[in-house]
A = this chain, B = another copy of it.
Amino acid sequence: MAGVKLSSLPTIKRLPSYLHIIEAAQREGKEYISGTVIADELELEPIQVRKDLAITGIVGKPRIGFPVGELIDAITHFLDWHHNHRAVLIGAGNLGTALMGYSEFTRHGLTILAAFDVDTAKFDKSINDITVHPFDDIPKMIPELGVELAILTVPSDFAQQTAEILIQSGIKAIWNFTNVKLKVPSGIIVQKEDLSSGYAVLSVKMARSRS
């Protein structure tokens, strides 16, 4: 668990959406933002928002709200987004290419240094300024780059074997966009991305709106 309390994970997952809204308030010149405003925007309960934000150490003032600048700094520090996170991307297909162009990541310190693919037609081509290298160069290049994070966007059939090559090459954390539950040695961090959560909320809301 790498020192993160289980109970904090749902809160950590919500912090980026809070940050997004608070940054928008800052751009509009606001100095304070209330927990209720954040809650309304995100369809959460105000008490949940206040509880979540308390994890960053910033406490709101009654009737005034949270100080915008301080709260942005506190969330950014809590998420370690004030540091640069260097990553490689494995699998430069459609999803991989989409992620290479996702500017939200860059804004929060994530830099994709290189991509790898098995498709020879992609070698040495640049996608959004990120060069695609041969898959076979992974064991040589990952230690050279000194990168600890890999974004995994290969076809699911290759997910497990690719993860093993990555870990042997020194990768400590895998952001898994395949639908495979990876088996990894203890100490290796895996974050599995699942687009079904949003689809679940949509399905329930659409069903309820009809009834």
Q: Which of A24, A110, A199 has the most CB of B within 10 A?
A: A199
B175 touches A202 (CB 8 A): yes
Q: For the complex, is A197 an interface residue (Cβ under 8 Å from B)?
A: yes
Q: For the complex, is A44 an interface residue (Cβ under 8 Å from B)?
A: yes
Q: For the complex, is A125 an interface residue (Cβ under 8 Å from B)?
A: no
B179 touches A104 (CB 8 A): yes
Interfacial chain B residues near A97, Cβ < 8 Å? 94
Within 8 A of B (CB), among A1-48: 1-4, 6-10, 12-17, 20, 24, 41, 43-45
Q: For the complex, is A88 an interface residue (Cβ under 8 Å from B)?
A: no
Q: For the complex, is A121 an interface residue (Cβ under 8 Å from B)?
A: no
Q: How distant is A158 from chain B, measured CB to nearest CB, in Å?
A: 15
Interfacial chain B residues near A206, Cβ < 8 Å? 2, 80, 85, 148-149, 172-173, 189
Complex alpha-carbon distance, A80 and B12, angstroms = 28
Interfacial chain B residues near A205, Cβ < 8 Å? 1-4, 173, 189, 191
- Interface contacts beyond A6-B43, A20-B194: sample of 4 additional A-B pairs, CB < 8 Å, sorted by A: A1-B205, A12-B200, A189-B206, A189-B209
